[in-house]
Amino acid sequence: MLPRLIARVLFLELYIQYACAQSIRSIFLFKDVMKSNTTALKTSGFNTLIMFGVGILDNGDIKYYSNTPGSEDVVIASGGEYVGGDALAEKVRSFKEGETGVDRLEISMNSQHVQDLMTSPVPLSSTCHGGLWKDVGEMGYKYTIAPYTNGNFWVSVTSQLNSGLQEADFLVDRVYLQCYDGGANNDPGNWQSGLGIKVVPLLWVVNDSKPVYGVTASQAQSRFAGWHQRSPLGGGGYWNDYDIEKMGLSYADYGKVLTTVFP
């Protein structure tokens, strides 16, 4: 009986370690989620989806920018309440329901109007500011960043928000590092060492906006594998779904790269 119990405990420990070590396989959703290929996004190997294009208006309302011809921008929050409609809410929920590999959904928000809203009408102290983010963290939310330069600044930001916390409780628990365009020469391993947080390098899929930065699935695999061999990373990801669909590319091909390099 005792050997069997010990075996079960060891199996549980190994399972927990494996589950905690699951790699991040992400893609940014630049296209209107009401029009993107939901099934492909859920079943091509991605486990993290990041909705891009959410911004704060000057009155504090929050708007979802569709970034897609034929779609309209939508105010999704006003007066502290969700006002984006049932269809959008159901679509967002659907990413983690049914047959899906997605276990994390994020919203990428710009910083427009944030400083003005924080200083008017009553300025917030730095202590209150920090407390606000920690309160949100205690509700179960996490923060991520997507830098491409100015590493020292981001070290300061993340160290303040994660101060006194164990890794499992970090408020900022992952970094999406742009390795294209302005961040084309970034070394994910160096950033990960400096920040002390799991780094997820991002590559831009084949596109017609800035073709020089676009990579095929095979090129992506070569770059991800090279980085990961030199310094084990948190995972990998892409910018973005809109170009995959516009250029007639394959979600499955790009997703397979991530499941191969970052199982």
Query: Can you spell out the DSSP letters for the chain?
Result: -HHHHHHHHHHHHHHHHHHHTPPEEEEEE-S-TTTS-HHHHHHSS--EEEEEEEEE-TTS-EEE---STT---EEEEETTEE-S-HHHHHHHHHTTSSS----EEEEEE--TTHHHHHHSSSPPPHHHHHHHHHHHHHTT--EEE--SS-HHHHHHHHHHHTTT--GGG-SEEEEEEE-SGGGTT--HHHHHHHH-S-EEEEEEES-SSSGGGEE-HHHHHHHHHHHHHHS--SEEEEE-HHHHHHTT--HHHHHHHHHHH--
Give the pLDDT confidence score for residue 131 in this predicted structure. Answer: 58
Q: Which CATH superfamily is domain 23-53+97-261 in?
A: Glycosidases (3.20.20.80)
Percent of the chain with pLDDT over 70: 87
Q: How far apart are CA 148 and CA 24, in angstroms?
A: 19
**Of the candidates 246, 249, 247, 251, which has an alpha carbon nearest to the alpha carbon of residue 69?**
246
98 band by pLDDT with thresholds 50, 70 and 90: very high
- The arithmetic mean of pLDDT across residues 67-86, rounded, is 95
pLDDT of residue 20 exceeding 60, the answer is no
Q: Note the pLDDT of residue 22.
A: 84
* Beta bridge partners of residue 221, listed in sequence order: none
Which residues, including other chains, have CB under 8 Å from residue 85's CB and lie 6 or more apart? 74
pLDDT of residue 166: 92
Q: What is the pLDDT of residues 160-209, one digit of tens each?
A: 999 999 999 999 999 999 999 999 999 999 999 999 999 999 999 999 99
Query: Could you read off the pLDDT of 29-58 as tens digits, one per residue?
Result: 999 999 999 999 999 999 999 999 899 999
Q: What percent of the chain has pLDDT over 90?
A: 77
Q: What is the pLDDT of residue 221?
A: 98
Q: Mean pLDDT, to the nearest integer, of 108-118? A: 85
CB 220 within 8 A of CB 8: no
Query: Which residue would you say has higher pLDDT here, 167 or 14?
Result: 167
Provide the pLDDT for residue 103. Answer: 97
Looking at residue 14, its pLDDT comes to 33
Radius of gyration of the CA atoms of the chain, in A: 20
| CA–CA gap between residue 63 and residue 73 (Å, rounded) | 7
pTM above 0.85, yes or no: yes
Mean pLDDT of the chain: 88
Give the strand pairing for 62-64 and 235-239: unpaired
Residue-level pLDDT at 113:
86
List the chain domain ranges.
23-53+97-261
